[in-house]
Amino acid sequence: MRLYLDHNAAAPLRPEAREAMLPWLGPAANPSSAHREGARARTALEDARAAVAALIGARPADVVFTSGATEANNLALRGAMVGRRIVTSAVEHASVLTTAGALAAAGASLAVVDVDAEARVAPADVATAVAGRPALVSVGLANGEVGTIAPVADVAAALAGTGAVLHTDAAQAAGRVPVDVGTLGVHLLSLSSHKMGGPAGAGALWVCAGTALAAQATGGPQERERRAGTENVAALVGFGAAARIAAATLTETAARTEALTARLWAGLRARVPNVIRNGPSDGPRLPNTLNVTFPGCAGESLLVLLDLAGVAASLGSACAAGAPEPSHVLLAMGRERASARNGLRLSVGPDTTDADVARVLDLLPRLVAQVRGGRAA
């Protein structure tokens, strides 16, 4: 039986989400239509919106449904940056960094703030980068590669009185750690369905009341004219169901996954010489995420051997043309390029068991020794 340890890439669809979606997978009415079928679809859509809003302590009216966190990040940056300087950190998701870069190429002012060796940005550095100008600041709440939780509330405090608009990508955080928009003090917050066990192709952007946001998809009144286009009712109903179960089980799941990753790290440290943990050694971090480097062990070789042995994991960076590029997150943390290519991410989920961890601890040290011994390409 295969073992799935790549929940930060995509969490398996929750049974509750699958069941909720089934009635909406056949022919369904447009939720903007005025007839009875349209009204049923609209009710299902708004129920889902309420569930997503409840997960983050928000009003349903302030939740804009999108096709995922990538679109939500694009909508936040492109929709709120007009006339503003963009400030972000060096460890953001590509959908933030690439979008910010494209806006800079089109003439926007951009500042990318460095992070420390644990991938954490300093609020004072963010405030300095704003440089007294109207700014849109984007700092991700949790890093999906190494698990660092950013001090977003402290960033908000440091920006108080500057007029800056603060966005956070909470795709990796929501459903794994408590997220409350009021406590964070942000103006915009992005979410992803498939990170919390909903279907792919659904997400949301929370927009604080009074925050100006220019729609990027136009041509219809949907989503209160912030994002035109007929909503994907089935996917969004699944998103809502996943949000409900994530909220109901958050405390229990966080405790379980934290114990599993702690056991996994302790076992690797005891059984594999010179293993390095990437990310916070303590303090705020995602409970389900462990990123490790084994010096002298090519990450891509280890990943292939794990896959052949029935374990799905990931490197800290995507692969291009079969050759892994160094992780921009590990590079920003000060790792050498060779080391930044070899970060292995193990991300567990609600259904991961102690037996799964025991299986990895039996297998992984032997595979590391094999690669280090030169018996793998």
What are the residue numbers of the active site?
Answer: 319
**Torsions phi, psi of 2, nearest 5?**
-75, 150
Q: Which of 304, 328, 356 is nearest to 91 (CA)?
A: 328
Cβ proximity of 131 and 104 under 8 Å: no
Sign of the torsion angle spanned by Cα atoms 271, 272, 276, 279: negative
Pairwise CA distance, residues 377 & 369, whole Å: 13
Residues 6+ apart with CB under 8 A from 116: 122, 333
CA angle 187, 72, 101 (to 5 degrees): 90
Q: Which class for 266: exposed (0-12), middle (13-18), buried (19 or more C-beta within 10 A)?
A: exposed
Pairwise CA distance, residues 372 & 198, whole Å: 39
Residues 6+ apart with CB under 8 A from 43: none
Pairwise CA distance, residues 72 & 189, whole Å: 8
Q: Which of 142, 181, 150 is nearest to 54 (CA)?
A: 181
Checking DSSP bridges between strand 3-4 and strand 311-312, what pairing results, if any?
A: parallel
| Locus of tokens 């992780």 | 327
